Structure 1
Amino acid sequence: MFNREKNDMTTETTLPYDSSKFKAPSFSGKQRTSRIGKPALLTIVNTPKCGKRVAISPKVLEHFGALTTVQVAIGEDGVALGERLPENDARFTLKTLANKSVIYSAPLVDSLTYSFELDFSGRSSISFGECSLMETEDGEPVAFFPIKAQQPASLPLSVQSEDTFDEGQLS
């Protein structure tokens, strides 16, 4: 039993389990399978009831130090994220949710959804497991998440160097 005063489960009295009082759910064999692939480095959540947000893996953000805000730019081939991006005044606050940093911004999610024609039919989120580390001309680190674009966007990003990594290489 749960003891509210101790905020703990008590083990003083163990009750017998009577299987005749329980029944397995009729849908037990119909569990939805998840898509298994690379670990998510960037996740876009787009739901009418639970909100719109962009979650970023701590494995990506550890290359930037302790960030409280980021800038995001949409390019033809994907999304760039950094502390200071050239020709970009838009700044987003990072909040912590579970083990990820999250940008709560419906306009950003709408822009990403439109720019890359992301289809959220039958799903609440889309995750991306690839990321390239780049550097601006001023030496600022940039994380680039490739997204196959069907509709080009108009914010190119100039870079000096590029290092590609995935979740396994970030450890």
Structure 2
Amino acid sequence: MSKDVIPLYVADVSAFTKTLRKSLSDQDKLPGHAAMMALVAKAAGFQNHQHLKAAKPADDTPLDELALKRALRVFDDTGRMFRWPKWTKVQGLCLWPFWARMPAHQDMSEKEVNEILKSGLSFDDHVLLRRSLIDHKLCERTIDGRVYRRIEQRPTPEALALMKRLKER
């Protein structure tokens, strides 16, 4: 006999575990609050309470429209960057489209990285972008600078919005 999967949504896990703990008060030895929270998280299919907290859906925080607007200003109608932004926050945001062009889980030579960067630039300073990718922790390289690799991570909501708007141009 198959079991029906019944999804459980708990808005406040802490309050849920306190209530559950109170309902189990007739037992001799009860686990503490933290242990109960871990048990509930494990029962829900997570490794532990921290894993449950990390998996919660992102809140609907508004995008930083000013940074997004400033980032869009440095790209032309074809989606190529024509100047380097002066604000550090915007610089980091503008690197995401270049990060997305780099192949995932693949070692690249400096020459290959330069070709990727040059294809998205209309000014002649791909070295600045290459260094900035390292500084903003979007890319890593070996000490001798021979091998580059994209650091796998989830783009920020602003980065996703920037890449989407650049694609729509």
Structure (1/2) with the larger helix percentage: 2
* TM-score (norm. length: structure 2): 0.22
* Larger Rg over CA atoms: 2
Structure (1/2) with the larger strand percentage: 1
* TM-score (norm. length: structure 1): 0.22
